[in-house]
Amino acid sequence: MTPTFRRVTLALALSAVASASAFAQQKLKYPKQPAAEIYDAVEKPAVPLGGLDAYAQYLADKQQYPTAALQAGTQGTVNVTFVIEKTGSISNVTVAQPVAPELDAEAIRLIKAGPRWTPAQHRGGVVRQRVSIPITFQIPASAEGGTAGAAPAAGAGPTTQVVTPDKPARPVGGTDAFFEWIQQNQKYPALARQRKVEGRVMMEFIVQKDGSLAEIKPIKRMGSGLDEEAIRLIKAAPKWEPATYKGQPMKQKMVLPVVFQL
């Protein structure tokens, strides 16, 4: 994805506590660990199946930036805490410090839908471990704000001033109605269906002052005919309510996904 519509910063708080004892015994025996106890520090931390790099890539690929948060310009890092069970499954997924309802919900969805883990080990046995991961939502520059004409200085050529609208552009009838229209009018390309290709084509476009959509182009391509279908859909889509700045309509650049799912 170009300048990534979604950028994810991954930092796993997996700390290992070494436990050493000097006993004059032939074999060291640990007491049996309480089945329900949750550890924050363990000798061998839990790790995602496939490794940390693969897990970071999963978070980056599967993050769906909430449209409402995008239009409102909401960004931030959601710290998600959860428990890796002895089976490697995930439970008790919570947000320690809420950022915004839409971002919090998407961060929780990502963690719950993620791969299983190799469980932690401590004192000779498999144990439950508490893990915290920060998931960052950042709107790329191409998706923020809009453009409005500014008076050029004497002797200078025309210039463009980048401003943040007082009221962002939005689809007529609301975001839900817009995406419902996309789904109802979508024609799944035969080649993509044959190849079982599905995913999201990230589309960039300008909402003009009259609400029409222009300069439509994909910034993350999927191939197999999906890109062309996404372009067709946006070109045929209903008009939007334009963004306004100081009471006047203005152009605004938007980045939204067109989802293809078999």
Number of domains making up the chain = 2
Q: Are 132 and 177 within one domain? A: no
Instruction: Establish if 154 belongs to a structural domain.
Output: no
Please write the tens of the pLDDT for every residue from 79-114. 999 999 999 999 999 998 889 999 999 999 999 999
Other CB atoms within a 10 A radius of the CB of residue 20 amount to 5
Pair (47, 104) in one structural domain: yes
Listing DSSP states for 154-202 in one string gives TT---EEEEE--SB--EETT-HHHHHHHHHHH----HHHHHHT--EEEE
The pLDDT, as a whole number, for residue 32 is: 57
Query: Would you say residue 248 lies in a domain?
Result: yes
Query: Which of 35-44, 59-68, 89-98, 143-152 is predicted with the least confidence, judged by mean pLDDT?
Result: 143-152
Asked whether residue 2 is domain-assigned, the answer is no
Same domain, 45 and 112: yes
Q: Which amino acid is at 73?
A: G
Does a structural domain hold residue 156?
A: no
For residue 6, the model assigns a pLDDT of 39
Residue 158 lies in a domain: no
Assess if residue 95 is contained within a domain: yes
Q: What is the CATH number of the domain that holds 85?
A: 3.30.2420.10
Same domain, 103 and 64: yes
Residues 218 and 257 in one domain: yes
CB of 201 within 8 A of CB of 226? yes
Q: What's the mean pLDDT in 15-37?
A: 46
Shared-domain flag, residues 49 and 101: yes
| Mean pLDDT, the chain, whole residue set | 78
Tens of pLDDT, residues 167-193: 888 888 888 888 889 989 999 999 999
Q: What is the pLDDT of residues 118-152, one digit of tens each?
A: 999 998 899 999 998 888 887 765 444 444 433 33
Given this model, what pLDDT does residue 114 score?
Answer: 92
145: tokens are 């704000």
At residue 142, the pLDDT reads: 46
Residue 186 shares a structural domain with residue 115: no
Residue 214 covered by a domain: yes
Q: What's the rounded Cα separation, in Å, for the pair 71 and 213?
A: 16
Residue 240 lies in a domain: yes
**Is residue 144 helix, strand or coil?**
coil
Q: Which of 99, 122, 139 is the last residue of a domain?
A: 139
C-beta of residue 120 within 8 angstroms of C-beta of residue 42 = yes
Same domain, yes or no: 135 and 169: no
- Give residues with Cβ within 8 angstroms of 85, minimum separation 6: 91, 119, 128
Q: What is the pLDDT of residue 3?
A: 39
Contact 48, 117 (CB under 8 A): yes
The per-residue pLDDT for 33 is 58
pLDDT at 162: 53
- Tell me: do 175 and 249 sit in the same domain: yes
Interatomic CA distance for residues 238 and 247, integer angstroms: 23
According to the model, what pLDDT value does residue 1 have? Answer: 44
- Residue 82, domain extent: 37-139
Segment 214-241 shows an average pLDDT of: 91
* Domain identity same for 191 and 124: no
pLDDT of 88 reads 94
Per-residue pLDDT averaged across 26-37, rounded? Answer: 58
- The fraction of the chain above a pLDDT of 70, given in percent, is 77
Residues 48 and 127 in one domain: yes
132 shares its domain with 171: no
